[in-house]
């Protein structure tokens, strides 16, 4: 079990590793720089992580854990289509409220991070993508969405919400207005998509 001091150091290592990675990408990612920002020696990093890949993998896992916590709130909704719509809204909220985690797990090359957990081609290793597939399947079962391949439909929905969230974070949708205006724009757009998927 981690002591509170050790847990705090690990948390800070993850935060600084995420930031160093985002600032310089894989070619400039340095354990020495992460250690410097954390206020520990480079050798001390190895008390927490075996290597650079282990640290980056933990950064991704942490981001996905937070993301998963957002998605699970959708299960409180009463109907399949409400749960699917809520999952989209919560995807947006995660992106807007946790932009640095979002950028690491959804706006960088998974091969550079040494993990493939964000890719829909590996649903067995991506519980968050499987969550979306499950929401689509239950919508198909109650005929809220037309029959089709649930994984393919989920990829289409993911591409749509990811595109909107990524454009927002990169500043390309600043003309929409503040975050509340973007939330309305996002919901209108996703509702239009879901209407197009209806039987």
Look at residues 50, 164, 25 and name the one whose alpha carbon lies nearest to residue 104: 25
- Shared domain check, 74 and 8: no
Domain that holds residue 135: 60-197
185, with CB counted inside 10 A (0-12, 13-18, 19+), is: middle
Contact 138, 83 (CB under 8 A): yes
**Any domain includes 83:** yes
Q: What is the pLDDT along the chain (199 residues), one digit of tens a residue?
A: 456 667 789 999 999 999 999 998 888 888 999 999 999 998 999 999 999 888 988 998 899 999 999 999 999 999 999 999 999 999 999 999 999 999 998 888 766 655 444 433 344 458 999 999 999 999 999 999 999 999 999 999 999 999 999 999 999 999 999 999 999 999 999 999 999 999 9
CA 23 to centroid of chain Cα atoms: 18
Contact 66, 98 (CB under 8 A): yes
Which CATH number fits the domain that encloses residue 24? 1.10.10.60
**Any domain includes 71:** yes
């Amino acid at each position: 079990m981690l002591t509170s001091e050790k847990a705090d150091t690990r948390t800070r290592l993850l935060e600084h590793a995420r930031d160093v990675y985002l600032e310089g990408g894989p070619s400039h990612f340095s354990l020495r720089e992460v250690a410097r920002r954390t206020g520990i020696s480079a050798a001390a990093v190895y008390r927490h992580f075996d290597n650079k890949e282990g640290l980056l993998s933990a950064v991704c896992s942490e981001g996905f854990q937070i993301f998963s916590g957002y998605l699970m709130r959708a299960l409180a909704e009463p109907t399949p289509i409400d749960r699917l719509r809520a999952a989209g809204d919560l995807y947006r909220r995660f992106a807007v409220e946790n932009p640095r985690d979002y950028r690491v797990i959804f706006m960088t090359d998974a091969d550079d991070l040494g993990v493939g957990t964000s890719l829909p081609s590996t649903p067995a290793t991506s519980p968050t993508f499987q969550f979306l597939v499950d929401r689509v399947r239950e919508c198909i079962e109650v005929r809220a969405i037309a029959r089709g391949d649930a994984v393919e439909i989920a990829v289409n929905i993911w591409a749509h919400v990811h595109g909107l969230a990524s454009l927002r974070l990169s500043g390309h949708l600043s003309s929409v207005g503040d975050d509340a205006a973007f939330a309305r724009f996002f919901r209108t757009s996703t509702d239009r998509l879901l209407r197009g998927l209806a039987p």
